[in-house]
Amino acid sequence: MRLVQKMEPRHQITFFAIFAIVACSGTAGKDGTNDSVSAEPQATSTAATGASPLTGARIAVAHAGPAGEWQMPAGDYASSRYSELSSITPQNAANLRVAWAFSTGVLRGHEGQPLVIGNTMYVVTPYPNVSYAIDLAQVGQPLKWKFRPANAQQAIGRACCDVVNRGAAYADGKIFYNLLDGHTIAVDAASGTQVWRTKMGDLSRGETITMAPIVVKGKVIVGSSGGEMGVRGWIAALDAATGKEIWRAYNIGPDKDVKVGAKFKPFYAHDRGKDLGVSSWPGDTWKTGGGAVWGWISYDPALNLIYHGTSNPGPWNENQRAGDNKWTAAILARDADTGEMVWAFQVTPHDMWDYDAVSENILVDLPIKGQTRKALVHFDRNGFAYTIDRATGQVILAEPFVPMNWSTGIDLATGRPKVVETKKTAQDKNITDICPSLEGGKNQQPAAFSPQTGLFYVPTNNLCMDFQARAVTYIAGTPFIGGNAPEKGGPGGYRGEFIAWDATTGRKVWGIKEPYPVWGGALATAGGVVFYGTLDGWFKAVDARNGKVLWQFKVGSGVVGNPVTYTGPDGKQYVAIYAGIGGDMGLLIAGDVAANLPYDVRERGTTLPDISRWTSWGGELFVFSL
Amino acid sequence: MKWHLPKLLLVLALLLSVACDSTGNARTAAGGGASASASSTPESTTSTSNLLVAGDSLRFVEHSENLAAGFPSSIKPVAIKNPHEGDKNAIATGGKLFIAYNCLDCHGAEGSGAMGPSFQDGRWHFGGSPAEVFESIYQGRPDGMPAWGGRITNDQIWMLTAYVRSLSSKDMSTENFTGKTVERTGH
């Protein structure tokens, strides 16, 4: 299929030599609440603190397909967003240039990432969720096909946070993705014809779908959005061949619905008991309690477990739902064949700050205190970075990765946060200066992991909020929120930071402060270069070891998508990224950047007062090479 | 941006009282088809305000500007007025209904725009006359605006109309990055 499958030059030996020097110099510094301001990217340099050697770290699952392809949303089942390609290095990254670009024809937030299989790139747009197959083997990159699915217009107004789509999955010659109106579809990768189409969500109850599926052993795993609409969140598996639903597990409700049974062995005692998905809610409130699955899904073939997060409980007003509200704001491990829950860890019990736990769960074997641990690393909206035993659900360590003040730490005996009383939100009260804001220390923007450095590369937000909860009535198809939470920049005068994180110690190694929340994802490569994009439209290549910015290019719109890399038919390494500001940060918070409709012009938002000066909306794919 | 502290009970009591005093409507669809919610009842004509007096062939929107001059029209123009237009009390009640029916969480605090479009910009996708705004609320719109006709009383819809129209006063044509900003909430 591929015209050329050239081996990439390898620099690993050189790289490891360099890395060894860096590792021995000990750049790790605990810096979760650093307020320092720096106009320039800087490496946080503190004295050696006895950090574990990281060279034993490896990704739990190998990259899917040839190294030069990008077959899965995160590149692999481990959600590592790491590529073995190594042509682009810190030495030559300054020579990167635009190779070609492609307008998706759609405005609004371009979260997610394209796929590359063989010599074809597959792009899925925000609503109306058009998909394109782009022929990489021909000059000018003509389309092989485009597919324009039937997609109910009503969905636009039922999606809380812009009409985003986080990408497609590929298996067995088919492209699988979700439509905003609640359908999952399969499209023939060769011809662009629809193979099957299954209605999974109910728009009239506020259920939309925005997440990227993954395919595990012939099953397409998908989950619902709608945590702001009073949905009852679920995750489901469809037969990849036919689209028939094989299993569906709710995240709230009786054990039978939640698929809690004989296999369920949570690590913490307070998570054991019958029907906790009902008894941790007052009355029938569990039926509209949120717990959606709009983020990323990981899979460990050895344990045969899938891992997913769940969204905030609904409504935001905690007064209407006393109790732990299981299993909202939680990380759940389920049997990949049956959906049965194997363990659960509620990251933020009785969440009252809109701290969804839908961040990706990165599956990496890490050397911790002399042992190799089967770890799951999760950077939560609540501001803590968790290193968890992915076999048992035990929290190994949890440390703040952004400025925060709502909790003083995680009690490792219970896994629960120690909550600061004065930062608890309450109905009819205005609780001020809570950090992080409801956008979280990190939101949908996925982190990356490099087995070369052993470090996680994390796009983060630095925002705080006031929280004003109020009573709200459930009305099907309308928001079920009950609160307002105006946001502002966090301490230090910057609103986002791209950081490198050591998950064996829970420490930040370096950081690049950004004027705006870093709402796009990260990509790590074997060349020692890490890529990310910014809300004001800079696409950057940085040195994986020290965060030095090697190259940057101003793309056509703010970046909320995730970079991928692939080998082109000419044997060269390419890096692709969507431009297209939007999502929660672009549409709701900025407001005015998306205000070009003649009937919908908005004032600037206080949170990002001048973002619209630097970018406006527009969906475009940019591809770079040396 | 001001933050409203609604007292739910007060609002509910208000809703009930409004529902009991529901006003008339010649639109036959109002009482049929859609089922009433718990806090409101289907309407029948009352004498307090016969808002729509056009009879059974009522058309809310007549775009006569699209017709050639002198084009014979069988449509009898009907002046449809909001009985609450400009009424401060009704606008205040409409503001409470705006929160009670979760309009705020779609259209933003004080209609500054969120999931749904802004009401502060003086611009209207489906027209900004009282009748057109009433119609948007009554029958919903294709991008996901729910249909409230038959679920809440027409009088409440008129009060919401008065409130929403009261928000529309700003000229936002130019953004020069020195003007004021508004607080916005993400999700």
In a mutational test of the B interface, the residue from A381, A478, A615 whose CB has the highest number of chain B CBs within 10 Å is: A478
Lowest mean pLDDT, pick from A161-165, A182-186, A534-538, B52-56: B52-56
Taking an 8 Å cut-off on Cβ atoms, the answer to whether A607 and B183 are in contact is yes
The answer, for B128 touching chain A at a CB cutoff of 8 Å, is no
Average pLDDT over residues A225-231: 98
**Is the distance from CB of A319 to CB of A227 less than 8 angstroms?**
no
Phi-psi region of A304 (alpha: psi -120 to 50; beta: other; left: phi over 0): left
A 219-258 residues inside an 8 A Cβ radius of B: 227-228
* pLDDT at residue B48 in the model: 35
In a mutational test of the B interface, the residue from A475, A488, A535, A581 whose CB has the highest number of chain B CBs within 10 Å is: A475
Q: How far is B86 from chain A (nearest CA, A)?
A: 23
Taking an 8 Å cut-off on Cβ atoms, the answer to whether B183 and A591 are in contact is no
B106, B173, B182 ranked by CB distance to A606: nearest: B182
A 442-471 residues inside an 8 A Cβ radius of B: 468, 470-471
B113, B143, B186 ranked by CB distance to A157: nearest: B143
Nearest CA in chain A to B10: A471
Q: How far is A5 from chain B (nearest CA, A)?
A: 44
* pLDDT at residue B52 in the model: 42
* Dmax (CA) of chain B: 55
Average pLDDT over residues A71-94: 97
B114, B124, B186 ranked by CB distance to A439: nearest: B186
The answer, for A35 touching chain B at a CB cutoff of 8 Å, is no
Does residue A45 have a pLDDT over 80? no
Residues of B in contact with A584 (CB under 8 A): 186-187
A472, A477, A603 ranked by CB distance to B181: nearest: A603
**Is the distance from CB of B114 to CB of B184 less than 8 angstroms?**
yes
Q: Is residue A415 part of a domain?
A: yes
Residues of A in contact with B37 (CB under 8 A): 475
The answer, for A479 touching chain B at a CB cutoff of 8 Å, is yes
Give the strand pairing for A297-300 and A245-250. Answer: unpaired
How many residues are listed for chain A in this entry? Answer: 626
CA pair distance A122, A126, nearest whole angstrom: 14
pLDDT tens digit sequence for A246-297: 999 999 999 999 999 999 999 999 999 999 999 999 999 999 999 999 999 9
Residues of B in contact with A614 (CB under 8 A): none
The answer, for B13 touching chain A at a CB cutoff of 8 Å, is no
- B73 — pLDDT class (breaks 50, 70, 90): low
Q: How many domains does chain A have?
A: 1
Q: Is residue A368 part of a domain?
A: yes
pLDDT tens digit sequence for A497-539: 999 999 999 999 999 999 999 999 999 999 999 999 999 999 9
Residues of B in contact with A479 (CB under 8 A): 102, 105-106, 115
Q: Is residue A495 part of a domain?
A: yes
Nearest CA in chain A to B118: A600
Return the closest-CA partner of residue A565 out of A55, A1, A82, A42: A82
Nearest CA in chain A to B7: A471
The mean predicted confidence, pLDDT, of chain A is 91
Does residue B163 have a pLDDT over 60? yes
> Which residues of A does the annotation mark as catalytic?
228, 312, 354
pLDDT tens digit sequence for B13-56: 334 333 333 333 333 333 333 333 333 333 333 333 334 433 44
* pLDDT at residue B71 in the model: 64
**Is the distance from CB of B140 to CB of B125 less than 8 angstroms?**
no
The mean predicted confidence, pLDDT, of chain B is 72
- Domain containing A605 equals 12-499+516-625
Residues of A in contact with B144 (CB under 8 A): 153-158
Does residue A33 have a pLDDT over 60? no
Residues of B in contact with A471 (CB under 8 A): 6, 8
* pLDDT at residue B61 in the model: 57
* Higher pLDDT pick, B7 / A67: A67
The answer, for B112 touching chain A at a CB cutoff of 8 Å, is yes
* pLDDT at residue A553 in the model: 98
What is B8-60+75-166's CATH number? Answer: 1.10.760.10
Q: Is residue A507 part of a domain?
A: no
pLDDT tens digit sequence for A2-21: 433 333 333 333 333 333 33
Quote the radius of gyration of chain A (alpha carbons, Å): 22
Q: Residue A560 is part of a domain; what is its CATH number?
A: 2.140.10.10
CA pair distance A329, A345, nearest whole angstrom: 9
CA pair distance A330, A346, nearest whole angstrom: 4
* pLDDT at residue B173 in the model: 85
Q: Is residue A45 part of a domain?
A: yes
* pLDDT at residue A16 in the model: 34
Sign of CA dihedral A415, A420, A423, A424: positive
Residues of A in contact with B123 (CB under 8 A): 598-601
Q: DSSP of A549-565, one letter per residue? A: EEEEEE-SS---S--EE
B 143-172 residues inside an 8 A Cβ radius of A: 143-146, 170, 172
Q: Is residue A3 part of a domain?
A: no
The answer, for A536 touching chain B at a CB cutoff of 8 Å, is no
Return the closest-CA partner of residue A559 out of A585, A591, A530: A585
Taking an 8 Å cut-off on Cβ atoms, the answer to whether A477 and B101 are in contact is no
Give the containing element (helix H, strand E) for B165: helix B154-166
Most confidently modeled range among A609-613, B76-80, B174-178: A609-613
* Higher pLDDT pick, A611 / A26: A611
- B60 — pLDDT class (breaks 50, 70, 90): low
The CA-atom distances, in angstroms, between A254 and each of A53, B95, B163 are: 45, 39, 43
Return the closest-CA partner of residue A604 out of A595, B61, A596: A595
Residues 6+ apart with CB under 8 A from A91: none
Write down the pTM of the prediction.
Answer: 0.86
- Dihedral in degrees, nearest 10, Cα atoms B110, B115, B121, B123: -130
Residues of A in contact with B174 (CB under 8 A): none
pLDDT tens digit sequence for A573-619: 999 999 999 999 888 888 888 777 888 988 888 899 889 999 999 99
CA pair distance B186, A25, nearest whole angstrom: 41
Taking an 8 Å cut-off on Cβ atoms, the answer to whether A600 and B113 are in contact is yes
List the domain boundaries for chain B.
Answer: 8-60+75-166
Return the closest-CA partner of residue A179 out of A226, A211, A221: A211
Return the closest-CA partner of residue A60 out of A530, A452, A529, A451: A451
A 141-200 residues inside an 8 A Cβ radius of B: 153-161
Q: Is residue A4 part of a domain?
A: no
